A and B are shown apart, each in its own frame.
Chain A
Amino acid sequence: MTGNIWVLAEQWRGRISEITYEGLALGRELADQSGARLEAVLVGHNVRALADTLGRADSVLCLDHPLLAEPVASVYVDVLAPLLAERKLAAFLIPLTNVSLGIGSWLAGQLRVPAVNFCKDARFVDGRLQARCVLYGGKIEAEVAVCGEPAILGIWPGARPPEKGRSAQPPAIEQVTVFPDQTPSVRFRRYVEPARGDTDLRQQEILVGVGRGIRNKENMALAENLAGVLGGVVCGSRSVVDQGWLPLSRRVGKSGLTVKPKLYFALGISGAPEHVQGMRKSGCVIAVNTDPQAPIFDVAHYGIVGDVIELLPALTRAIRARKPPADDA
Chain B
Amino acid sequence: MKILVVLKMAPDVVEELDIAPSGTALDPRGQRMVVSESDEHALEEALILKERHGGKVTVLALDAPDVDEVLFAALAKGADRAIKIKGAAKGLATSVAADTLAQVIGSELGLTPADLILCGVQAVDDLDGLIAPLIACQLGLPFLGIVTGLWVDAPGSRAFAIKEYPGGVRGEFEVAIPAVFGIQAAERPPRYIPVAKVRAAMKSHAIECIPAPLPVNAVTPLIQVLAMRKATLAPRAEILEGSPDGVSARVCEILAGRDLI
> A-side interface residues toward B, CB under 8 Å?
12, 70, 72-74, 97-99, 101-102, 104-106, 108-110, 112-118, 130, 133-148, 185-194, 206, 212, 230, 238-239, 242-244, 248-249, 251, 254-258, 262-263, 270, 272, 283-287, 291-293, 295, 297-306, 310-311, 313-315, 317-319, 322-323
Of B37, B220, B247, B252, the residue contacting A306 (CB under 8 A) is B247
Indicate if the CB atoms of A97 and B252 lie closer than 8 Å.
no
B129 CB–A CB distance under 8 Å = yes
Residues 112-154 of B, flagged 1 when their CB comes within 8 A of A and 0 if not, give 0000000001101111111011101110001111100000000
6 pairs of residues in contact across A and B, judged by CB atoms under 8 Å: A136-B124, A145-B226, A193-B169, A256-B167, A311-B247, A322-B252
Closest Cβ–Cβ distance, residue A51 to chain B (whole Å): 22
How many A-B contacts are there with CB distance less than 8 Å? Answer: 287
Q: Scan residues 156-173 of chain B and give those whose CB is less than 8 A from a CB of chain A.
A: 160, 162-173
Of B130, B137, B138, B171, the residue contacting A101 (CB under 8 A) is B130
Say whether, besides A102-B132, A105-B129, A143-B227, A303 and B240 are in contact (CB < 8 Å): yes
A322 to B130, CA, bound (A): 50
B236 CB–A CB distance under 8 Å = yes
> B-side interface residues toward A, CB under 8 Å?
11, 13-14, 16-17, 19, 26, 37, 41, 95, 98, 121-122, 124-130, 132-134, 136-138, 142-146, 160, 162-176, 179, 182, 184-186, 188-189, 220-241, 244-245, 247-249, 251-252, 254-256, 258, 260-261
Indicate if the CB atoms of B239 and A73 lie closer than 8 Å.
no
Of A105, A114, A133, A206, the residue contacting B134 (CB under 8 A) is A105
Indicate if the CB atoms of B225 and A141 lie closer than 8 Å.
no
Of A135, A249, A291, the residue contacting B14 (CB under 8 A) is A291
Using CB atoms, name the residue of chain B closest to A292.
B239
Closest Cβ–Cβ distance, residue B172 to chain A (whole Å): 4
Indicate if the CB atoms of B227 and A303 lie closer than 8 Å.
no
Indicate if the CB atoms of A98 and B166 lie closer than 8 Å.
yes
Indicate if the CB atoms of B236 and A98 lie closer than 8 Å.
no
A residues in contact with B256, CB < 8 Å: 322
Say whether, besides A255-B184, A270-B14, A318-B248, A295 and B175 are in contact (CB < 8 Å): no
The winner among B145, B226, B248 for most chain A CB atoms within 10 A is B248
A56 to B126, CA, bound (A): 30
A239 to B163, CA, bound (A): 17
Using CB atoms, name the residue of chain A closest to B222.
A114
Indicate if the CB atoms of B189 and A242 lie closer than 8 Å.
yes
A residues in contact with B19, CB < 8 Å: 140
